[in-house]
Structure 1
Amino acid sequence: MSKPVLLDIDERGVATVTLNRADKHNAFNEEVIAALSDAFAIVEADPRTRLMVLTGDGMSFSAGADLNWMRKFIDYTVEENMADARKLAAMLQALNTLKLPTIACVNGPAYGGGVGLVACCDIAIAVSTAAFALTEVKLGLIPATISPYVVAAIGPRAARRYFLTAERIDAPTAKDIGLLHEVVDDQPALAALRDKLIATILANGPEAVAASKALIFAVTGVAVDDALQADTARRIAERRVSREGQEGLAAFFAKRKPDWA
């Protein structure tokens, strides 16, 4: 039996996590959620990793919830449904807060929880044939566990429309509302853009990249007061005297590449 999620880390430190249920359009179930959680933990703990790509096998990114998994919800108690949903919520938060950069490489349709995975990644790119939908309300449900990440990506105004209508969102519209950063014509172009982004990130200081990601979380939604000014000043001061910061500055003035590039 094939694994529901594949993990590969290459010699550059690029981790690729692939949803591996192409025959089920990479739909979620308990095994997929557990396997994704395990993969993210491995990537986070491995000192070799510089960034992570998340994609799907076959023609779909992820169709959302697996039908057999959904059937179990009917007979679960509130407590059992709560425990089940908490596992999904924890997996999404693990992806959202990974210290290293993450790229969602959306190779096809993404629905429900698949949209959540895209929203949790730092960078999201897609082929033009990809489509998105938050279809939970069609089943009398709500996109609850993915909502913090999707609303952060597309904003409450767009969320009001697409959470309530369950409309299909094409790739250009997904870019317009903020779910995607770029849309390309076909799979070769998607691979080329992925590789370009990887090369761009690998040229940057790995510690500075991680610190920049942490900085975004630290300043988002926070009032610009004396405490925040002091915190941001401390962060840049520490980077300036860090080994990586010193190497980067020295390389710049010596007109050479830094040792991480």
Structure 2
Amino acid sequence: MWVTFNRPHRSNALTPGMISKLKALLEAHRSDPSVRVLVLTGKGKYFSSGMDLSAANQADMQQRVGTGTAGSDATLLWESLRTFPKPIIARINGPAMGGGWGLLFTTDIRLAVRSAEFSFSEVKRGIVPAIISAYVVPQLGPFHAKQLFLTGEKISAEKAQEIGFLSGVVDTEEELDRETLRYVRVVLGNGPGAMSHVKSAVQFVSTHAHPENLRYVQELFDAAVVTSPEALYGMACFMQKAQPDWTQFLREQAKL
């Protein structure tokens, strides 16, 4: 089964509706014997630029924070992906930013074109990469995670492979298709029950996504990601295509 993020005009930014639909799709096919492997990709130049920070989606997100469902919606999707019993192959056709990159840490095999770039850009907008930290830190380690979270800098596909994030890097989309299909054929040749147990075993022995960790990052998401003055200021600057002046922001906050 192939799933394609299809908002190329918005760099495949994720909306609450997309999150709900993908979660429902995963649950519908979790026990479907006709689905043996899941391929995630994006249409156009981007894999995904992360959460949609447009004004409309900010309002929707703030409403969800008010009802306590914003963090839980994202957490449930990430957990649905992480615990999906079939292999998930990421066909990374272009840049993956913020939550778009974080989502990829729930996949099992990751292939990217050489032109793809990756960044956790949340801090540049005054946002905390809270929920995704539960998945990023165990895989990259605290050192790489903090460097990427704190700087928000982009890294190349080659660097992403160097730090252990990518399974392979290819030059063109044609090669990406060939390599993706090669992996599809490989996993289709394996026992589906055995692969499901392999995923469960790895998830069990790994230290990430323990319930107490998920509760903490979900609460942090609700408290700091959308409703804080810093996040609101950072997102407003983003919408205006302006560089945030954090020094001035802190001065203004000190007056309150």
TM-score normalised by L of structure 2 = 0.76
Q: C-alpha displacement at 1:30, in angstroms?
A: 1.0
AA aligned opposite 2:140: I
Aligned mate of 1:60, from 24, 46, 53: 46
Return the offset for 1:124. Answer: 0.9
Is the aligned partner of 1:72 residue 2:59?
yes
Q: Distance in 2 between matches of 1:77 and 1:206?
A: 37
Quick one: which amino acid aligns to residue 95 of structure 1?
Answer: L
CA contact (8 A) 1:118 1:179 kept: no
Unaligned runs of 5+ residues in structure 2 are 209-256
Corresponding position: 1:95 with 2:81: yes
Separation in structure 1 between the aligned mates of residue 25 and residue 158 of structure 2, nearest angstrom: 30
Give the superposition deviation at 1:85.
2.0
Measured at CA, do residues 170 and 70 of structure 1 come closer, stay the same or move farther in structure 2, by a change above 3 Å?
Answer: farther
Equivalent in 137, 148, 166 of residue 152 of structure 2? 166
Distance 1:221 1:75 in 2: 31
* Corresponding residue for residue 72 of structure 2: 86
The change in CA–CA distance for 1:134 and 1:40 in structure 2 (over 3 A counts) is same
Of 176, 179, 200, the match for 1:214? 200
Percent of matched pairs sharing the same residue: 37
**Kept after mapping to 2: 8 A contact 1:115/1:150:** no
Q: Trace 1:111-126 onto structure 2 (pairs within 5 A).
A: 111-126=97-112
Cα deviations by residue, 1:58-100 (Å, 9 ceiling, x for unpaired): 11100111122553278548534x4112101110110011011
Bigger relative contact order, structure 1 or 2, given CA contacts below 8 A and separation 6+? 2
Which residue is 2:30 aligned to? Answer: 44
Distance in 2 separating the partners of 1:74 and 1:48: 35
The one-letter code matched in structure 1 to 2:89 is I
Distance 1:90 1:17, change over 3 A: same
Compared CA separation, residues 91 and 77, structure 1 to 2 (3 A):
closer
Residue type matched to 1:178 in 2? Answer: G
How far is the alpha carbon of 1:117 from its aligned partner? 1.6
In 1, are the aligned partners of 2:64 and 2:70 still within 8 Å (CA)?
Answer: no
Q: 1:204 aligns with which of 171, 176, 190?
A: 190
2:102/2:132 contact within 8 Å kept:
yes
Going from structure 1 to structure 2, the CA distance change for 1:66 and 1:77 (only over 3 Å counts) comes to closer
Distance 1:206 1:55 in 2: 22
Task: Flag as ranges the 4+ runs of structure 1 deviating above 3 A.
Answer: 73-80
> Which residue of 106, 117, 142 maps to 2:92?
106
**In the alignment, which residue of structure 1 is the partner of 2:13?**
27
Aligned residues: 207
1:133 is matched with which residue? 119
Q: 1:155 aligns with which of 136, 141, 146?
A: 141
For the residues of structure 1 that align with 2:76 and 2:102, how far apart are their CA atoms? Answer: 12
* CA RMSD between the two structures: 1.8
- In structure 1, how many angstroms separate the alpha carbons of the residues matched to 2:37 and 2:61? 39
Match of 1:187 in 2: 173
Bigger radius of gyration among the two: 1
Matched, 1:17 2:8: no
1:132/1:151 CA distance change after superposition, 3 Å:
same
Gaps of at least 5 residues in structure 1 are: 1-14, 223-261
> Judging changes above 3 Å, is the alpha-carbon distance between structure 1 residues 73 and 218 closer, same or farther for their aligned structure 2 residues?
same
Equivalent pair of 1:184/1:190 in contact (CA under 8 Å): yes
Distance in 1 (CA, whole Å) between partners of 2:2 and 2:64 is 36
